[in-house]
C-alpha cells in the first residue's frame, strides 16, 4: 500500500521558468526583420535534467529535429539547455543547415557550461532558408546574460512566428506536502496538425522523474492535447514537444504518484494546445469536435480529425451556417464504421439529425448558437461506444491572405 499523499492540482499564471531551478530568456538578435519581434529563446536548468521529446512524423525533418534526436540518444535522455530561434525553420537546408544546428548547440553549451549533447535545438519559421548564424553568434551571449526565473514571458514571445499572442501555462500539485511545479510554453498558428505546426512546445518540471516515466507522460499527454488539435491539417517539418525534469523540488515521481504528475503535465499542455487553435491563422472560433458511437477509439479519432480538417465544415462554421449535411458526409467518407440510420449530428445543444431523420426546423436555433466564438460539434456514428475529442478552428479569408503572403 502506497504511503504517498497527493493534494489537489491547481493551475496558476506562469510559464516555462516557473519550476525551481529553471531560467529562461527571450531576445531579438536579428534573425527576423526589425520590428517583427523577439527571435531567440533559451531555457536553462541549473543542473542536468532528465529529458524526453516527441517529434514530427514528417519525413522531411528539419536539422534541429535531427540534432536534438541525436543528443537525446547520446545522453540517454539528459539535457541542461534548449535553444530556440524563430524566423527561420532551418529545414531543407542540407549540410549547411546541419552544421548550423550543431553550432547553435555548441555555442550554447560553451556559455552554459555543459556537454554539447546536453543542449537541445529547435527552430521555426520559413522552410528552405539558411539561418543567420552571424546574428546568433553575436547575440547568444546577451541571451545567456538575460536568463532569469522571471523571463518566461520573453521566451514565449521569442518563439512566435505568425502567432497572434504568446502561450504560457503552469500548474502545481503537492506530493507528501511538497509542491512540484510544471510550466510550459508553446508556439503555433498555421501549418498545424502535429503528428508526433509549425508547432513547438517546451515543458519543464522541478520533479525528479525517471526517464521511462517521463517519456510515458509526455507521450500520453501529447496524444490527448497537441496531437488532438488541427488548424489546417498540415504536419510541419519542425514539430516537437520537449519535457525536462530537473528534480529541484526534491520530490521523485514513481508509479504511485505518476497519475498526479501526468495530470499536472496535462493541465499545462491542454491550455497551450487550445491556445494554438484559438490563435490559428485567421481563426475567429475555437471548435470542439466530439465523435461518439465509434467502433474503436482509433476510428473515433480518425473521424474527428476528418471533420476538423474539412474545408467545407470549417467554412460553414466561419459563415455561421448550420449545415449538418457536411458533417454527415465527412463521417460517411472517413473510412470508419458508420451506420446512417443510427447516426446523429448536434451543433451545440441543438440536434439537427438523428436516427436517419433531419430536424431542419431547428436550423435557426443552431445558426444563433454558431455566433459564439467557442463552439461544440458532436457526431454520433452509431457503430459502437468509443469516442474522441479534437479541437480545431474555422477557416476564413484571412487564413488565405496570411499564407499567400507568408514569404513575401
Q: What percent of the chain has pLDDT over 90?
A: 82
pLDDT tens for 295-315 read 999 999 999 999 999 999 999
Q: How far apart are CA 303 and CA 295, in angstroms?
A: 11
Give residue 404's pLDDT: 75
| Confidence label for 327 from pLDDT (cuts 50, 70 and 90) | very high
3.10.20.30, 1.10.10.60, 3.40.50.2000, 3.60.70.12: which CATH number matches 10-278?
3.60.70.12
pTM above threshold 0.95: no
> Which positions ≥6 away from 3 have C-beta within 8 Å?
none
The cell for 190 is 498555421
Q: Which residues are catalytic?
A: 198
Question: Element (H or E) spanning 137, and its range?
Answer: helix 133-145
Q: Which is it for strands 344-347 and 350-354: parallel, antiparallel or unpaired?
A: antiparallel
DSSP string of 50-83, one letter each residue: EEEEEE---SS--HHHHHHHHHHHHHTSEEEEEE
Architecture per CATH, domain 286-404, reads as Roll (3.10)
pLDDT tens for 107-135 read 999 999 999 999 999 999 888 999 999 99
The cell for 131 is 539561418
Q: How far apart are CA 337 and CA 26, in angstroms?
A: 48
Distances (CA, A) of 342 to 161, 323, 346: 44, 19, 13
Q: How far apart are CA 219 and CA 327, in angstroms?
A: 30
Q: Which is it for strands 40-55 and 200-205: parallel, antiparallel or unpaired?
A: unpaired
In 89-175 the beta strands, taken as DSSP E runs, fall at 119-124, 167-175
The cell for 29 is 538578435
pLDDT tens for 200-254 read 999 999 999 999 999 999 999 999 999 898 876 655 677 899 999 999 999 999 9
pLDDT tens for 255-282 read 999 999 999 999 999 999 999 888 777 7
Residue 4 has pLDDT above 80, yes or no: no
**Domain boundaries, given as residue ranges, for the chain:** 10-278, 286-404
Q: Within 310-391, where are the H helices?
A: 311-319, 324-333, 363-369
Q: Given CA atoms 351, 354, 359, 360 in this order, what sign does their dihedral have?
A: positive
Amino acid at each position: 500500500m502506497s504511503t504517498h499523499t497527493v493534494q489537489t492540482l491547481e493551475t496558476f499564471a506562469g510559464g516555462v521558468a516557473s519550476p525551481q531551478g529553471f531560467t529562461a530568456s527571450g531576445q531579438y538578435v536579428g534573425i527576423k526583420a526589425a520590428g517583427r519581434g523577439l527571435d531567440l529563446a533559451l531555457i536553462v536548468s541549473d543542473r542536468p535534467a532528465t529529458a524526453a521529446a516527441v517529434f514530427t512524423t514528417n519525413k522531411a525533418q528539419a536539422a534541429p529535429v535531427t540534432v536534438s534526436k541525436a543528443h537525446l540518444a547520446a545522453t540517454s535522455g539528459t539535457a541542461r539547455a534548449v535553444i530556440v530561434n524563430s524566423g527561420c525553420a532551418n529545414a531543407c537546408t542540407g549540410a549547411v543547415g546541419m552544421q548550423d544546428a550543431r553550432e547553435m548547440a555548441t555555442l550554447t553549451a560553451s556559455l552554459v557550461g555543459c556537454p554539447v549533447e546536453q543542449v537541445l535545438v529547435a527552430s521555426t519559421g520559413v522552410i528552405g532558408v539558411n539561418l543567420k548564424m552571424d546574428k546568433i553568434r553575436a547575440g547568444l551571449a546577451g541571451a545567456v546574460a538575460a536568463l532569469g526565473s522571471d523571463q518566461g514571458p520573453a521566451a514565449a514571445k521569442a518563439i512566435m512566428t505568425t502567432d497572434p499572442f504568446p502561450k504560457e501555462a503552469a500548474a502545481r500539485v503537492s506530493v507528501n506536502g511538497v509542491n512540484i511545479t510544471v510550466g510550459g510554453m508553446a508556439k503555433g498558428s498555421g501549418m498545424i496538425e502535429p503528428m508526433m505546426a509549425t508547432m513547438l512546445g517546451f515543458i519543464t518540471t522541478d520533479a525528479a522523474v525517471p526517464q521511462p516515466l517521463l517519456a510515458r507522460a509526455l507521450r500520453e499527454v501529447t496524444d490527448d492535447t497537441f496531437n488532438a488539435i488541427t488548424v489546417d491539417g498540415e504536419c510541419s517539418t519542425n514539430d516537437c514537444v520537449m519535457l525536462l525534469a530537473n528534480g529541484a523540488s526534491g520530490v521523485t515521481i514513481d508509479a504511485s504518484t505518476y497519475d498526479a504528475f501526468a495530470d499536472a503535465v496535462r493541465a499545462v499542455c491542454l491550455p497551450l494546445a487550445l491556445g494554438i487553435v484559438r490563435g490559428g491563422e485567421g481563426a475567429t472560433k475555437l471548435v470542439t469536435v466530439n465523435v461518439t458511437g465509434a467502433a474503436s477509439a482509433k476510428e473515433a479519432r480518425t473521424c474527428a480529425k476528418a471533420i476538423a480538417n474539412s474545408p467545407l465544415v470549417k467554412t460553414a462554421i466561419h459563415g455561421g451556417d448550420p449545415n449538418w449535411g457536411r458533417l454527415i458526409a465527412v463521417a460517411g467518407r472517413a473510412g470508419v464504421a458508420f451506420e446512417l440510420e443510427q447516426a446523429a449530428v448536434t451543433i451545440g445543444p441543438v440536434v439537427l439529425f438523428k436516427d436517419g431523420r433531419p430536424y431542419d426546423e431547428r436550423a435557426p436555433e443552431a445558426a444563433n448558437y454558431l455566433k459564439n466564438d467557442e463552439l461544440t460539434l458532436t457526431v454520433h456514428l452509431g457503430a459502437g461506444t468509443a469516442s474522441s475529442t479534437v479541437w480545431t478552428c474555422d477557416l476564413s479569408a484571412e487564413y488565405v491572405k496570411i499564407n499567400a503572403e507568408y514569404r513575401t
